[in-house]
A = this chain, B = another copy of it.
Amino acid sequence: MKTNLKTNLIKKKYSAEARAHVLKAFAHPARLTMVEALMEGSRCVCELQELVGSDMSTISRHLSVLRNAGVVIGEKRGTQIHYRLTCSCIADFLVCVNQLCFDRLENEAARMRGFRG
């Protein structure tokens, strides 16, 4: 039943476009890196820049993508703007992505072994 509820929620309540939009926000190495940092607590833009290493304007653009998708939210603290995640479920979410990566590597490794021996 639980799964059914979930499935229902997923399938009926919001459009695929809306969900794809959110997913797209995560789907960039720099943005993902920032999100992962934010999983540990809020960070100001300058910290995120240092972490990612791109131009400040690029960082800001990425943050606006995340903001628009409702993934992060920023608030002033003195002279800086500190960003944080809007939702704690994001961590679990990324664990699954990681699982997929892992499986993919495993499969590739297995295929390699197959080719050689």
Contact residues in B for A28 (Cβ distance below 8 Å): 20, 24
Task: Return the contact of A70 from the options B10, B16, B27, B100 (Cβ within 8 A).
Answer: B100
How far does the alpha carbon of A107 sit from the alpha carbon of B73 in the complex, in Å? 11
Per-position binary interface string of chain A over residues 17-53, scored 1 when its CB falls under 8 Å from any chain B CB and 0 otherwise:
1111011101111111100100110000000000000
Please give the count of copies of this chain that the complex contains.
2
Query: Could you list 26 examples of A-B contacts with CB < 8 Å?
Result: A6-B92, A9-B98, A10-B36, A10-B39, A10-B94, A11-B36, A16-B30, A16-B33, A16-B36, A19-B32, A19-B94, A19-B101, A20-B31, A22-B100, A22-B101, A23-B27, A27-B27, A69-B100, A69-B104, A70-B101, A70-B103, A86-B100, A87-B96, A87-B100, A90-B100, A92-B92
